[in-house]
Structure 1
Amino acid sequence: MKLTVFGATGGVGQEIVRQALTAGHQVTAVVRDPARLTVTGAGLDVFRADLADAEALRPAVTGRDAVLSGLGARSRKHAGDATRLTRAVLGAMEAEGVRRLLAISAAPIGPVPEGDAALDRVARGIVSRIYKDVYADLRAMEAGIARSATDWTVVRPPKLLNRPVSGMYRVAVGGTPPRARSLGRADVAHAMLAMVGDATTVKQGVGLAY
């Protein structure tokens, strides 16, 4: 497949690029600073662009089978980036007629799972208050994606860890796995690549967790 990856220098983004290349896909990695992309390999095209400029992004998505986005706020002070930058990605995709989009959000944006223990609910509430601006940004991002003409999937992992890919995690299409506490960045990437051709995830939020 021909894939475009936004947020390609982030923890999940680099894993998406690495695993996609290993699987033999052609990958366009869209970055602000190519020096921050440590992944190399045959089939990789590094595309430098202003991520907020939809017109500048059009050549990066034209003719692609799918776009995978790891865009988001790097910290609380960057809240708003996910909505702003994803808006540009959607504009480029719609201008070029590219349909398939997979984007990263976060578990607290999804529905509260039935059967969660009281401690899990309390912890979720505390985290949501601390990162309320970031989560407000992600909710706005998701709303913009849902209004788009794309065949979208929003992936909602819990706390992210640096662990090797295992392929062993729970998936809840349209929901959140109970006791969703953590997941490795490599497994988020693994899940997103597996969902590219999965019609059951189209126009769905998908919860992930170990």
Structure 2
Amino acid sequence: MLICVLGATGRIGQEWLKLALADDHRMRALVRDPNKINAVNDRFTWLKGDATDLRHLVQASEGAEAVISALSTDGGNVLSVTAPLLVKAMKVNGIKRLISIGTAGILDSRAEPGRLRYESSESRRKMTRSAMEHHRFYEEIAQSGLDWTIVCPTYLPDGPYTGNYRIERDRLPVGGESISVADTAEFAFHQLRNKEFISARVGISY
């Protein structure tokens, strides 16, 4: 399978590269700074470009069977700008499957039904700008007609892969406080072959 990767130079993106190459997939990454790419393999290629440019997204995803995205908010509006362009690029290239990394803030609140966690008393963060960006991305993707899954980790420290974590559709598992980058990356990557969480957000934590 050829997979288009966005956010390949970040912590989760780098884990995805390892998983894909170990699983005999081919990957093509769209990166702003190729100097941050360390992988050397004939099944991995990269294109220098910007995820907020439709032309670059179309070129990077051409021929791919799926797109996986670990784009961050980047301190600005990268996610909300990219979302509609990514939908267009995927439709141009006939791609249905999209897996992305979100935040636990966009999961449904247990304490205040009808609200998302970042909008409710469950959120411990004073600043909501990042969660709002993820919310805008989610809203755009949810109405796209794509086969999407947004994996939503809570606090995301570095740490070893354990394979021992909890998941819940559209909510954060009760009492969940953290989940490692490695475990989050592994779960998200394996959604490429899993249809259980299509059109869903998935909370993940220990």
For the 8 Å contact 1:32–1:50, the answer to whether it is kept is yes
- 2:85 is the counterpart of 1:88: yes
Tell me what 1:125 maps to. 123
1:37-81 residue CA offsets vs partner (Å, 9 max, x unmatched): 22333410111112211122212112212100001213xxx2322
Which residue of the other structure, out of 99, 119, 125, is the alignment partner of 1:102?
A: 99
Question: Per the alignment, in what secondary structure is the counterpart of residue 3 of structure 2?
Answer: strand
CA 1:145–1:157: 2 relative to 1, 3 Å: same
CA distance in 2, matches of 1:44, 1:58: 18
Q: 2:201 is aligned with what amino acid? A: G
Partner in structure 1 of residue 11 of structure 2:
11
Greater mean alpha carbon deviation, residues 101-110 or residues 80-89: 80-89
Distance between the aligned counterparts of 1:180 and 1:40, measured in 2? 36
Higher helix fraction: Structure 1 or Structure 2? Answer: 1
C-alpha offsets along residues 56-111 of structure 1, whole Å, 9 cap, x if unaligned?
2212112212100001213xxx2322111233222211111100000111012102
Which of 131, 139, 143 is residue 143 of structure 1 equivalent to? 139
CA–CA separation in structure 1 for the residues paired with 2:202 and 2:21: 24
Offset, 1:169: 1.2
The percentage of counterpart residues that share the same residue type is: 28
Unaligned runs of 5+ in 2: 112-117
- 5+ residue gaps, structure 1, are 115-120
Q: In 1, distance between residues paired with 2:82 and 2:55? A: 12
| 1:1-210 alignment, distance < 5 Å | 1-74=1-74, 78-113=75-110, 124-127=122-125, 129-130=126-127, 132-210=128-206
1:175 Cα deviation from its structure 2 partner: 2.3
RMSD: 1.9
- The Cα offsets for residues 7-58 of structure 1, whole Å up to 9 and x where unpaired, read as 1111111111111111111111110111012233341011111221112221
TM-score by length of 2: 0.90
What amino acid is the match of 1:202?
A: I
Counterpart of 2:115? none
Give the TM-score of the pair, scaled to structure 1.
0.88
8 Å Cα contact 1:17/1:29 also seen in 2:
no
> How many residues are aligned here?
199
Please state whether the residue corresponding to 1:67 is helix, strand or coil.
Answer: strand
